[in-house]
Structure formats: C-alpha cells, structure tokens
Chains A and B, each alone.
Chain A
C-alpha cells in the first residue's frame, strides 16, 4: 500500500466516521429531589462540585455528582435566583468563593460559597422578584427588580454602589458588553437594554415574530442574544443592531437559558444556547457558525422546567424542575 493510498484510506475513514457520528442525544442521567415546594434559579460550582438551587426554602446546596444535601445558605427565604462569582484575584478557572442570591420581595444576599454564610444583605430600591447577572468587565453583580429598578453591587464587597428606577421586566436577565444588562419583559414583548453605568434604558429590542420573551442567553464574543419566547419562538438577535436574524422553534411556556462554548467537548458543537421551557422541552440551539444556528436537538423532559446551568467539567446540564409536583434537579447528559 503506498503512502498516498494509506493517507487516502485514513482520510476516507475519518471522514466516514465524522459523517456517521450520531448527533449527541441528551437524556436524563439523574434526578435529585429537593425539599420545599419550588425550585427556581440554579448555579454550579464546577470546581467544588456543588449545586446552588434557589427555592422557597432558600438556597440549597447539593453535591453536583450525587445530589446529596451539603447545606443551605442562611439568611434568605423564597429565593428566586442565584449566581456564583468567579475568583476575582487569580484562582483557578471555575473556582468560586462568592455567590449572590435574590428573593421574591426585593432582597439580595451575598454569601460565601465556601462556608455557606451570608456576608451581606442588600435591600433593592423596589419590592418584588429580582434576577441577577454578573458583569465580568465591571466586576459587579447586577440585580434587576421586576418592580422597576436596577441595582449595581460590588461583587467583591457585596455592597450596592448604584441604583436607579426604570422600566424592567420579570423575565431572565443577562449581563453583556458595554455595561449593558438585557432584561426580558414578556408583557412588553421586548428585551430592554439597560445601562449599568448610566442607570438608564439605552433602548429596546422588539420581538420579530415571537411573543412574550422570557428566557435569555448571551454569547458575548459573537454578540448574539438568544431569546426564548413563551409561544415557542427562539429569536437570535445580533446585539450590535438589535436585529433578529434567525428564528427557531422551541417548546412552550416560560423559558430560561444558558450559553456554553464546546458544550459537548472538542470536535462536537462549537457552542450552544440551551433553552428550557415550562412544558418540559429542552432545546439545544447549536452554533454552526457565527451566522448560522440550528436546533441541534430537542428533548422532552417532563413539564415544569424552570432554570438551567451548564457544568463545563462534565458537560452536563442541571435543570430545576417540578417533577410530579415536587421540586427536583434533573441532570441531563448524553
């Protein structure tokens, strides 16, 4: 066999393998039962293998690999959202020591994710449910109250440093480039673009054909905003111009999302936005190129999904769910 022939055969083999590789099919790997009556926001500390789950009992901490209860963050009841802040001064990637949680009535707590103690409490300017996102450029946590305020919290000190009243929304929020905080507002059928530097609304993105946007995920490199709407439309917006250039079909009901690079490891999807919806649909919006996205897979996981987090160590997704009326974390992998 000549060298050229061998190379050709290898090439054809590799090509055939690549061609016939089945699409990654997500399935439920495990279900972790929770106490209380609800499960909402979720975050994962991939380094310590801890899950933080917001619910009516507060913020529960679980072992991410077994679901065993590790503890509870004290100082908050009726928690709605939770996030972890990466190490600011060095530290390993994916290593978290601080977290923040919000509730349904206008409070935010900062906590230590190591000893699970609350380190500070912030009263937001307006009452009502609030959501959180982390601005990695400014090193701030942005808290958006659905009652109409934006509060900027120093992620290091846990103190509020700026606040302002403005029209917001009850949907998911994400922090983006240039001090922008994107807020889904279902009744307004728009995503508000708030500015955490000026504390003003810089503009709105109207939906193209979707109705009631509630879930958001952002690719800050491609500047793509994935908007999950309650009617099932997933709009992909070029945030430079607020232009929806692709519309895909997801599930139905309130949506929550997360974005991940190489969600299945090298050689698989370049990136994806995962959208979970109330009707139990998990949609994987697969990036084929920065201008080309498609539904890479869609999975029915049972109704009541309410939030999603991505574990970049195991490539698993953690979904909060109301499985048979009881709160749970559903672990999804392939």
Chain B
C-alpha cells in the first residue's frame, strides 16, 4: 500500500473514530437526560392519577352518603323485616337513586348479603352479593362490577345504614372510563391508559384509552401479563410501528382492590419521539461531520503526502532511471529537511556511482585490451615460433650443402607458408568477430541443417586411431520450416558439434535433438565428456574465454551472437563429469521473410 493511501486511511480512521466517540457520548448523555426527565414526568402523572383517584373516591363517598341518608334508603332500611323482602317495592329504587346521584353502580344489600335492589343489574334482586359488604373498608376502593353482559371496574364506597332491626348496606360507585382518563392532564408526549384486569389473559376490550388514540393494543399484552403475574410495577419499551419515533416507554403500575388483588393497571406511555429525533440529529450531525472530516482528511493527507512523497517519488524515479542506465539522473533538492538530506545523499551516491562506473569501464577496457593483447600475443606467438625456427633453420642450412639447403628450404618454405596461413586465419577470425554479418533469412528445415552439420564431421567420428564417438540423432520429423540464415546456423551448429567432439577425447556419445513447441524451435547438442565447472559455465560465452589449449575463445561468443541475431537464445546445461548440453532456441521468424517466402512458410506449416 502506498504511503499516501496509508496516510489517508489513518486520517480517515482517526476522524471517524473521533466523530463516532463524540456521537456515542452525546447520545448516551441525551438518553440519560431524557430517561431522568421521563421518570420525573411519569412520577408526576402517577401522582396526579392517585390524587384524581382519591378525589373521585371522596366524591363518590359523598354521593353514597347522600344516598344512605335519603328518604328512600331510610324507608327501605326501616321496612326490612325478618321475612322475605318485598323486592317489588325496591326494584327501581337503586336505579332512581343512582340517576339522582349520578352513580354508575348502586346496590342495596341486607344484612344477609342479599341484593334488594341493584343497578345496572336490576334483575339481580334476591341473589347474594359476592363481595362481603360487611367487611368493606370505609374509604373508596376498586372493585369488579359484574354486569349482565360484561364486567367493569369501578371505584366504589360502602355505607351501612343503621336503621331498622337489620342493617342495610348501600354500595355505590362509578366506573373507570374515558372520562376518568380525560380528567388527567398528562404533559406533552405522554398518555395514560387504564387496563381493567377483569380476566386472566390480556383482552384489548378491557383497555380504557384516551379518545381518538388507536394502536395495536396487543403489543401491551406482555407487560400487562408481567404485572398480572408479579403484581409489581414494570417498565417496557413498546415499538408501535417500524418507525422508532412511534416508540413509547410504558410504565405499568398495578392498582389493587380491597383484598389486595390486582384489579387495574395504570399504563403511562411516554413518547420517545423527542429523544429519537435528537438521536437522529446527533447521528446526522455525526455522519455529516464524519463525511466532512473524511473529505478534510483526504485533502490534508493529500497535501501532507504530496509534501512527503513527492521527493520520495522523485528519488524512486531517479533510482529507476539509473537502473535503466541513465546515470546522469539527479533529484532536485527543494527542501532542507530529512528528505532534502536524503535527496542530497542520493545525488552524491549517483555521482559516485557514475564515477565508479567510468572507472570500472575504463578498467574493463584496459583489462580487455590486455586480454586481447595477451590473446593476440598468444595466437601470434604460436606461428611466430615455428617461423623463427624455420628461418633460423634456413639460415643454418645456408651454411650447409645446397642439396641440404634445398631440402630444408623446401620444408622450411612449406612451414612458413603454413604458419603464415595460420597467422592469416587468426587475423581473419579476429576480423570476422569484429564485423559479424547480419543474417539473411530464408526458409530452412532445421533437421536438414543438423544433418549437414553431422555429415561434415562424419569422417572424424569414425576415424581410425581415434576413440569411437557414437552419433545419435533424435529428430522431430514433424518439424516445421522456420526463417533463418542457413549459413550462419550451419557454422554455429558445426562449432557446437566440433566442441562436443573435442570434449570427448576418449570417445563417447554425441546426441543431436530437434523439437518444436508452438512457434519455438529447439536444437540440442549433447556430449558425454567431462562437463564444465560452474565458473567455466558462467564465462563460457565471454569473448576470448576458452577451455582449449589452442582456442581463440571467440567460437561460442560468435555462436551466441548468431543466435541472438536470429532472435533466439542459447543455454548450456552441464555438470562436472556428466557431459554438456547446448540448447539453441529459435523463433519461427516468419516476419523476417520476404512476403513470397513467408506465404510458403505459412502454407508449409
């Protein structure tokens, strides 16, 4: 990863982490503040509910007291006798008095617990009241009121009418309904529901809700059941819809009746809309800040990176230039910091490298000249010595007889001519190396070139007095023609065959192979001679390097030059004692042919 990207990543991560941390902390603080405020508001509403509850209880108590003191109730109490009550006389009394005193429930019960008159269930006369009115508390309390076709929860008060022989009890109350809820004044974002715990399971019909409020009330079932089971206050978050702004925190407060049984549950709902909106604002601000921070990080990191990496890139570019051989490349020094020092050091190093290279080239050139001089001296010295001996022999023979001189002159002139011929050959090879001819491409069959090469040395392979060398040909008969200079390739192959024969003074096996892989052609020449040392293998193609007593060291160099001019390459595989294999790889070179020949080559392939 480039430095610029690393820098950008670090900057961006830093910004994102910081923004996220700030957003989380802000959100947590806001949540804490809202929860505390919600608790206070809920407590206030619950207190208001209890005050309203008590106020209503007192109001109902006043009304029931009035009923108990009414003439009708007194008459009823006085008329009670040991015999069966005259229910007909009381049938409508409860309803009439309830309407007068605006009570939803009113019952007159005698000392035996028998209902004398009841509303809204007048038909219940003569039946026993399930609630023990004799043991009822003085104050108002919650009570389940059975109706003919339903049940309701009511706030009731029981009074004893101390008239007549047998006591008469009057029990009156008002149901808890929407009016009761409407009397509460919850603050904004709060609602109060009242659940009448009239059955073992949650029933939405038992829920008293503010007018106009509709929700999927079934969602309240878990919290209501929790309160039903535990009898304790419970708080739960209700998700009314997929929109988090509709969420409400529900505080469920149980309300017990006279026997401490949970008869009602006050549900205070606190909207989380304000908190969710604030949280969304914090989140939005964090996102915007993060995005802005990332943009800033990109710009800042780009600016810093450009200041830091531009000199480094210049250094890298200069190093690449130098690696490519452009030794004059240098870096502009634009700063005086560490990078400036680095650039300065790089330039100094470059200059030193350039100087060392020049010195090295100079030294190599001198070494080459020395090597050439040594080679040349060596090559020239060999023919010169016979020349010197022949001439000295001729000079000595001149002092002898004429016949002897003629004979010696004859021999000596032959020797001189031969040695001069050698000198010419030496000079010719050096001249040839200095001006290698460019290959003239034409369509050739590689197998034929190999056969020609082998044929050239056929006499040497089976010469008497020479250890036998077996020649093995492993030709690929399906070899396609390729474009090459047949003369140059012939000479190259002849050179390799000759080297192989000379590498096997004690005989062996000469193997020649040809094969083709796609557009690449391969010729291998292997011997079973003594092989090459690793250092010999490395310098094998260096001009003037030879392992022979009388070699010029130019043969393989010329061969490599020929192969290279054909666009191919030559490699050698050899281990000491295991023989040597030279491998020439050549391309098809179809593009090097004249158009007519190229067409022939393509059709021939």
- Binding between chains A and B: no
Binding site for B on A (CB under 8 A): none
